[in-house]
Each structure stands twice: as C-alpha cells, then as structure tokens.
Chain A
C-alpha cells in the first residue's frame, strides 16, 4: 500500500528539553484501547498536557501558543520503554512529521519510520543549539531535507543525519515494508520447507 511520502520539510518546532521521554508519557496505557490507528493525537502527552480535570497545563510546550509546527524536538533517549506503535501514531496524528533528538530508542525509531514520521538524530551540541534557538525565537524555522540527509537551522548552521538507505527509499517514495516482504513470499515458502 502506498503511504505518505516524506521529502523535505521547513517548519517551526515545539521544544521538549527532557531526557528519556518514554512511550508511556507519549501515550499512557489507558488510552491504548482503540482498535484503529486514528485519533491518538488527542491524548498525546496526556498527563503532561492536561490536569486531572482535563484543563490544559499552561506551562507545557504543546499548550504554549508561542510554540507550533510539524517538528518535535526532544531530549536524548526519546521513545524508550513500551513498544506501543500508538506512540508514533499519536505524534503523527497530532500533526508532527519529524522528531529531532540526540538519541532514539530502537523500537520507537522503527515504529516512526513505518509511519512516515521521520526521526532525525543530531549531535548533543546541535540539539542544544536547536533548543537555544527556539528559546531565543520561537518563530525560528528548521529545514529537514531527507534526500540530502541534512538538517538546517534558519541561521544557516547545519548538520548531516543518518538514515538507513532502505528506509530512506521507502520514505521518499511512500513504499511499505509489507509490500517488499510480500514480494518475497516464494522465498519465504521455500525457507519454511527447507528449515
């Protein structure tokens, strides 16, 4: 099935300068009860975003009108913990298309890539630079160019980022892992019979 493509994006960004943001924070377990992929954005960062009476917490970045955009910037080890793909769905459903961090947990990274949500891993120094640029001017924009594997700040400073070539091709073209695996069905059948 053809998925959404990701080629390049220029956007403002929402900063979350916290390390080890686990997928229970991104979407708490009690909101995993849906049987479809849609609608999880409503509960993204639920317990950081809302008080227990469901009023928004004014000091949380997503509730701060100064911060907006399709890029989420977070501290290191983003997406650790539970394998719930709902975390990637929630971030995407909310409207983000890129998450920037200096380190991603493995399963989250896979889940994001399988859902046209691009995880961009930058150096610790570059991450600091992004946070301070947003702090100075929340209107600052960041460009992510997947073809060139480059992230560029508004002041022109840039850094290259890694992505595995297969996943890059998938994102640029909207390809899907299952289509590739289904094309191997005969080889899989053969493997099953001979092992």
Chain B
C-alpha cells in the first residue's frame, strides 16, 4: 500500500490482515490471546464439538481472576458454581496445551494486569481477550480489544478473529495535570465529555503532552476505560517510557533481541498528517478530580460541581434514564456530591490495582486511620503486585489505617465472587463501571481515582483530594 499519512492503528491492523475480501470482514491474525474462567468454557466446548485443536497454544495465556475469592485462596473455593468454573479452566488448559496461572501461582492475577507485568503485552501486537477491558493493553501501542465467547473460540481454533475495521479517533490532551489530579480523573473527564456511547464504532489513539508525561501504569488506566465511551479500544504510541517498562520483564525479548525490537517499536507511531475520522482536543488544565454520580461512566462531574438538573440535560430524551439513574443512586438533581457519606471504599480492578495505584493510596493514608463509618478493601491486581506491596511495607500502612489488604482478583469491580457491596450502600471505587447492581444488587457506586478513594476512606465522605495533598 502506498497510502500516505497512516495512523498507528492502521499500520498495526494492516500488518495483521491474513485475508481481506470484498464484503467480508478482515481475518485478523492475533498475536496474543488471554483467557479466563468466565468467558472461555463454552469456547472450549465448541472446539470439542468441532473436534478442532487449538491452532497455536503458545499464543494463549490463561488465568483465574473474575470469579475467585480474595481471601483464603489456598482453600478450595466455597461456592460450588464458582469452584466448578475455575475447575473447568483447570481441566481445559492442559487438555488444549495452554499455560494457566492458577490461584496460588506467583503470576496469577487480573488478566489485564498480568499481561503487561509479565512482558506478554508488547508494542505492535494484536491482542484479544473475552473481556471488554482488554483495551488496557493498548497503552503499549498495540491493537487490543475485547471479544465475545464465539470469538474466543475463533481465536483458539484459528488464531484469527473476523472483524470490520473500526473508524479512528484521535484524542489529544495538551498541558499538564494539576496537583492531586491523576490518569483516572483524565479518563473520567474525557468520558464525561464524550458520553458512554460517544466513541462507539471507533478505535481511539491518545496523544498530547499530558499523555506523554504519564507512566505506563497511568497510561493503562487511560486505555482501560476506552470501552466506557463505547470505543473498542484505545492505544498510545510507544516511547522511552514504554521501552523502559518492558525491559527485563519475564517474557519480553531480552538482550540484543530486546534492542532490535526497540528499534522496530520506535517506528510505531502515526505519520505526520495521518487522517483520523474524528479528532478531539482537551486541555489538561481544565481537568479536576472527577467522580461519577449516576449509573453509567459518562455520568461524571468535577468533584466540586453539582449534579446536573433535568433541565440541564443536553437531550430531552435522556430525561427518563437520568431520573431512573438518580433514583437508583438515591441522589437529588442539582445537589452537591462533595461531602456525600460513603460506606465502602474499593481499591482494585484492572483500572487501578497496579503497584503505583497502591503506592498512591499508601501515600495518602500513611499515618492516618480510616473513618469509622467505612469499610475499605484493597485488592491488588496480581500476586506480583501483592508481593511488591508487602516488600515495600504498604501492607503495614494499610493495616495501620484499618484497610483490608486482600488477595488478587476482579473482586468488587463486578461482584461475581462474594466481595459485594450491600444493597443501598455507597461505595467509592477505583474500578471502571457504576452500572446498576455492578458491585452487588442495589449497590451504589461512585467511580473515582485511587487518591480520591483514599481521601474518602479517611474522611468517610466524598472529598476534594486537593485539600489533602
């Protein structure tokens, strides 16, 4: 192809098309496939029914995360259905020759946390997983997106997925984030501007000074939530920050091989003048600590703002859904969110359970105690994060503050295991979704950054972190 001005997305996509036929979706080769216990069993069943083997087992990695307990992981899982699901993964992986990082394994953890930390996630790749937050991996400059179980079966059987090429969107954030304002605030701000469906049909590239300044872990937080505005994925061109992060990781190329790869990875950027289907620019100076008040991640405001009133909605057709949402949350239109009492604080999930997130929380709570009205769960994203947190003494800080440091898993992000927020209770959460019932039936979720969550843990209320940092 001699087309000039290609986007990074188009370059990676084009390099992975096995077959492109008029009227057909592209058969896209997948470099890395992650699976977990919840969205894979039916795919393995499909392989058995077809009598098909896994096409290339070395390109799939499995872990147990969604449905696992976060205490006493060395004991058999109590709940029968959860146990059966994890045992099914234990049976399927060896049968089909797939590496499994099971409960207790030093590499076990949330699938989107372990991929990057093990060096399985690399620039220029195509990466899929039966989980919508696969977009996380895009932080390394690759095409990573969530798929359904039928597509998991496609990848297992053929190492390809059939996909139509999405449109491309550039989101550029210039300037510098203020004190106490972190990646989570940045992405919640973008989603609040674009809405929960504003990027549907697009693949997003994040760029600009504010993105360049972010660490890899912060970039993962950004890309992770791309799906919350409907985008299939989000990516950031790799740079020195990326290469430094990858260097020396367990499965990353080592030595000379690494140096050669870095030379190739340096080419992974959009050409000057590359055309996107949509371009949006923001100024980092406009961003403040963010919090959601409603039941989709687009319903976010600056923590110092008031909840909108019905008359302030842009679209009159949104009124019934807006009212339903606020009724569920037990909040009044037009009221302040600052000072709202919280009952639970959840620090975890593929959005914010990496070591930097835990350090951020520890720095806020060091020498302080949680408010008596809150229960605080810190759920590390992986065994490695947990180990490092203990090595750095963060566990002691959490313990002294009255926080519970648990074992790795998706936990209260989706309340699939027993970590559920009780009905009617308010939880300030570093996770990615505030949908009705997401953290447990009738649970009420405020999405916020690890700093904001830590601040609320101390005060027992929604707090402006800028008053504490």
Contact = CB atoms under 8 A, between A and B. Distances in A.
B132 A192 contact: no
A8 interface: no
B102 interface: no
Nearest to A179: B50
B200 A188 contact: no
A47 to B, nearest CB: 5
A109 to B, nearest CB: 9
Contact of A114 (B150, B414, B415): B150
Contacts of B304: none
Interface residues of A, number: 54
B321 interface: yes
A24 B25 contact: no
Contact of B200 (A33, A85, A106, A164): A106
Interface in A105-142: 105-107, 110-111, 114-115, 124
Contact of A28 (B49, B56, B130, B437): B437
A35 B435 contact: no
Nearest to B15: A195
Given A83-B132, A85-B39, A188-B55, A52 B423 contact: yes
Interface in B363-391: none
B169 to A, nearest CB: 13
Given A180-B162, A182-B157, A111 B150 contact: yes
A47 B442 CA distance: 8
Interface in B128-179: 130-132, 146-151, 153-154, 157-160, 162, 164, 166
A8 B234 CA distance: 37
Contacts of B150: 85, 111, 114-115, 177-178
A103 interface: yes
Contact of A35 (B88, B196, B324, B415): B88
Contacts of A166: 23-25, 162
Contacts of A82: 131-132, 414, 433
Given A25-B435, A84-B39, A107-B146, A191 B296 contact: no
B158 A18 contact: no
B232 interface: yes
Interface residues of B, number: 69
Given A85-B148, A88-B148, A103 B18 contact: no
A83 B147 contact: yes
Contact of B296 (A20, A34, A184): A20
Interface in B12-35: 15, 18-19, 23-25, 27, 29
Interface stretch (A60-68, A72-80, A92-100, A148-156): A72-80
A178 B153 contact: yes
Contacts of A30: 415-416
Interface in B294-342: 296, 298, 317-318, 320-321, 324
Interface of B: 15, 18-19, 23-25, 27, 29, 38-39, 41-42, 45-46, 49-50, 52, 55-56, 66-67, 81-82, 84-85, 88, 130-132, 146-151, 153-154, 157-160, 162, 164, 166, 196-197, 200-201, 227, 230, 232, 296, 298, 317-318, 320-321, 324, 414-416, 423, 433, 435-438, 441-442
Interface of A: 1, 17-20, 22, 24-25, 28-30, 32-37, 47, 52, 75-77, 80-86, 88, 103, 105-107, 110-111, 114-115, 124, 164-166, 177-178, 180-182, 184-185, 187-188, 191-192, 195
Given A29-B438, A47-B437, 10 more contacts: A18-B320, A24-B414, A24-B437, A25-B437, A32-B38, A35-B45, A75-B321, A164-B164, A177-B150, A188-B55
